[in-house]
A and B are shown apart, each in its own frame.
Chain A
Amino acid sequence: MAQKMAITLDVNGTEHEIRVEPRKTLSDALRGDCGLTGTNVGCEHGVCGACTVLLDGVPVRSCLMFAVQAQGKALRTVEGLSTGGKLHALQQAFTDNHALQCGFCTSGFLMLAAGTLEQQPDIDDESLREVLSSNLCRCTGYQNILRAVRQVRDAGKEGAR
């Protein structure tokens, strides 16, 4: 077994000092070592997108990175979306549009959408469909997810935190 390494992860603006083996994925470190279980893990090989987080503002699969690789990067997870007990515009829109049922995929979709709208606030419908096709949802059938994200884009609430 390889030696554990002491690393610091910056998640939602808070520094987490943890000790991990190099083989520990970022998703497992967020959940098991930082105690941030909002990020879900489905397939563990890049297919489902449940584990999507923002790495320096960009959506990535946290199961396809090792935690040691995320040192010095600004990470954001679903726990960082709401502020002072107030839901992020995307969280509210998901609720209003019935864009979740079991919720397993939701944190991944929220982070995917948040990162996308922050970078491309005017993203067109076709590109948005392409981006949202990155993640899997086994419950809602995608239309409501698309509707929720479009609503936030149209309201120009992007990046509202």
Chain B
Amino acid sequence: MNDQTFHWPYANEVGMEEIKSCDVLVLGGGLAGCFAAIAAARKGQSVILVEKGATERSGSAGTGFDHWESACTNPCSQVTPEEIAEAYVNEQDWYSNGIAHYIECREGYDRMLDLESFGGKIRDTDDEFAGAAFRDDKTKLMFAYDYKNKFTLRVWGSTFKPALVREMKRLGVTVLDRTEATALLTAVVDGKKHGVGACGMDVHTGKFYVFRAKSTVLAMSRPARVWLFDADQPGLCEFRPFQSIGSGHAMGWKAGVEFTMMEKSVRAEYSAAGRSFPAYGTGNNHNTWYAATMVDARGVEIPYVDRDGRELKTVLERYLPAEGQKFFLKGGVIDNPKYEYRGPETLDFDELVRRGYQLPFYADLSRMPDEERRVIWGMMVGEEGKTKIPILQNYSERGFDPSRHMLQSYGTGWQSANFLEQERQFFGAPGGILHDWDLKTNIDGIYACGDQLYASDCAGFACATGYYAGRKAADAAAAGQLLDYDREDARREMERLYAPLYVEQGTGWKELNQAIAKAMQNYCGGMRCEALLKEGLDLLESYEKEIVPTLCCRNPHELMRTHEVQDILTVAKLVIHASLHRTSSSAPLFFRRSDYPQPDPECDRCHIALHQENGQVIERRVPLNFFGNLKEEYEKRNQNYIREEAAL
């Protein structure tokens, strides 16, 4: 069937324009976007949610997630929101999103209860794990990592997205699936820029949309495919969903939204179009698999040690803080924590080699207590994103039985991958939109949440910040009015979007994506300097001028991919600008400049926030502690919410 040409199964609406108006417009229908829509609809605002995929299973958590982090207000928690939010800030050397973490710690559990009321599963109602050390038998809540402090919950995340969709429907939210948002619309009122909506396109029919709104919430996750690309299996080249490539960042940057930490990227950790395996599908003892028993090639068990190097004797001890330690941090962005927060871990690889341990290593769940084995293989592997079918079902069909088999690790680390320095990724709390305590951007009427925020991290963070941004956007919308947009802006966007349909024999999107990724590896990799970065910018600008006008495609699906690569090009340029503006190196930002090798000089220990104005890049320096005292600042602004929650 290889070169078979098929009939396009959807209508052709190229050139048709529809204008839709609402109070609150939400762009992106992942966890954050859905919760933003729900919050705004609960406040009586009319809401449109625009989602490029299909909301029922779209976004990073479309097929699930298994850990809900930092739910500090759950009834079993032994920690306060202040303790955990401040620990994150400290752990990340203050290049951390204190505001969003505090919202997550403070309101995350409220969102879990919301999900339960929508039909999602957050507790072991079937008593599958009754009596287990990680379960509170009274509430049936189940915990992960730190069983003593109980602030990370094990949840049945595969039930969440469909539940959110049902609730949005019930609340009357207009959900437009298969619609990409492509540009923000702004207007200047009394000399100040204001968001007035967005443009978009139906990716089945090509219909052009203008969305008019009093408030707009950006929830389109973070960029990808900037350094990593594979033309054969592009869908596998990154960790987050293939279609999430940072359109929100690109349209924000073009509209004048302010970003920070975009110079931060880490040596890649995951790309199954080459160096990695299916996520959560190799032997390891992190995340979903924490704290699996690991063995070496001979079947000799690898010891777990506490932060002081003391060998742990029992499986249970892997889930408890060390002597004298209040709590430990583990999870999504916690890689190699400071001593203060370090939890149990298997012995360091070099020490294992000295002691004669042999590769390959394996995860051997057969040696774990029955309920620990069942909770890892069956619940966590099953509820975690991309595991129910790709791992649990697929491996079971291949004959894997965790009581009889051990699953291999590859290489020397738990990630089963080993990347080059120039192969980079936006992992571990990367850069994004800088915002205030309302999660509002520098532009009035434009809010952001979830993985679009700077130093973002994880599902609970997305749900909590989504809801918070939605309610602040709704309050502003209730007090504001629908502002007019510039017809010329919309017309130019329509022209830009359709252009590739009219190019004959031009450049395909994959070719450009591949070139951008190579350019970024060459000019903006592990070691940067001014001359190199400027060469890179020059090359990317030549792509913009010379290659973009030659992009061509034949249907709305390919047109969407073509728009994506244009956004990737915009993001790549933003990363280079951010790299040029930081004239020092930085350990917490994984940022190295050969021309400014000094790491983290005091004068540069700040956010170097950038935005565009009339084509110029404007820099603003913001202190790392700009958010102030977390509890005080939060309570100053959220008395209504505190009262409403207390009344429930």
- The finding on whether chains A and B are genuine partners in a shared complex, rather than unrelated, reads no
CB within 8 Å of A: which residues of B? Answer: none
